[in-house]
């Protein structure tokens, strides 16, 4: 019987020692743990620290920029100028347009719009569908295909089209969001 009591005492002592050891290790681990070294960031940290700092940074940047600086940046950007030109051309009925010598501008037009040449005009259909408007005197030429286009002929995407006269020749847009590169004198209308 004394052997059983001794074994029970040893087992109890082992359980107590194991419990103390595990408790000490648990407190030691929690003492070393820090959210600063944890790669997972808590939502409260994002909402309490990151977002307010980001809002302050953006507010400081916005408050230190003048309208003149913004306008100068936008006007210096070629893509922005082309975009504004295409919006103005596509929105205003009967608007006049001109693109200097070697510079093409991009027009994005809706179905039903017409581009009428006001002299020599060159264009490339980038996307969408368009048909030729011609008086029949050979004013519209597809230089890529080396042929003259007649009234109602479809314009081939990517081909270089030249309109030589200001006799009412041009192209009619058949599909919305049709994109055209153009240079020369022209009028956009219905």
Report the pLDDT value the prediction gives residue 94, as an integer from 0 to 100. 47
Query: What pLDDT, on a 0 to 100 scale, did the predictor assign at position 38?
Result: 59
**What pLDDT is recorded for position 47?**
81
CATH assignment, 78-189: 2.60.120.1030
Radius of gyration of the chain (CA): 37
Average confidence score pLDDT of the chain: 77
Of 33-47, 52-66, 73-87, 106-120, the range with the highest mean pLDDT is 106-120
Asked if residues 166 and 185 have their Cβ atoms less than 8 Å apart, the reply is yes
Q: How many CA atoms lie within 13 A of 2 on its CB side?
A: 0
- In this predicted structure, the answer to whether residue 114 has a pLDDT above a threshold of 80 is yes
Query: Stretch 17-26: mean pLDDT, rounded?
Result: 70
Confidence bin at 37 (pLDDT 50/70/90) = low
Distance (Å, whole) CA 2 – CA 8: 10
d(CA 186, CA 139): 14
pLDDT of 93 > 50? The answer is: no
Residues 115-127 pLDDT 10s: 888 878 889 999 8
Is 108's pLDDT higher than 60? yes
**pLDDT of amino acid 129:** 93
Q: How confident is the model at residue 168 (pLDDT cuts 50, 70, 90)?
A: confident
pLDDT for 77: 75
Q: How many CA atoms does the CB half-sphere of 30 hold within 13 Å?
A: 5
Q: What's the confidence (pLDDT) of residue 63?
A: 79
What's the mean pLDDT in 130-135? 87
**What pLDDT does residue 130 have?**
92
CA geometry: angle 116, 135, 99, nearest 5 deg: 25
pLDDT number for residue 95: 45
């Amino acid at each position: 019987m004394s052997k059983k009591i001794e074994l029970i005492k040893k087992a109890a002592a082992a359980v107590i020692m194991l419990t103390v050891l595990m408790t000490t290790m648990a407190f030691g681990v929690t003492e070393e743990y820090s959210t600063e070294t944890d790669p997972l960031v808590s939502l409260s940290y994002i909402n309490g620290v990151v977002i307010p700092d980001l809002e302050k940074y953006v507010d400081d940047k916005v408050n230190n920029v003048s309208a003149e600086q913004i306008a100068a940046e936008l006007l210096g950007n070629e893509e922005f100028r082309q975009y504004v030109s295409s919006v103005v051309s596509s929105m205003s009925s009967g608007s006049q347009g001109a693109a200097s010598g070697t510079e093409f501008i991009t027009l994005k037009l809706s179905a039903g719009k017409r581009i009428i040449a006001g002299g020599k005009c060159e264009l490339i259909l980038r996307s969408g569908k368009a048909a030729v408007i011609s008086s029949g005197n050979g004013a519209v030429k597809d230089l890529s295909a080396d042929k003259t286009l007649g009234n109602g002929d479809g314009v081939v995407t990517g081909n270089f089209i030249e309109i030589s006269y200001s006799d009412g020749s041009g192209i009619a847009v058949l599909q919305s969001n049709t994109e055209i590169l153009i240079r020369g004198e022209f009028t956009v209308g219905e």
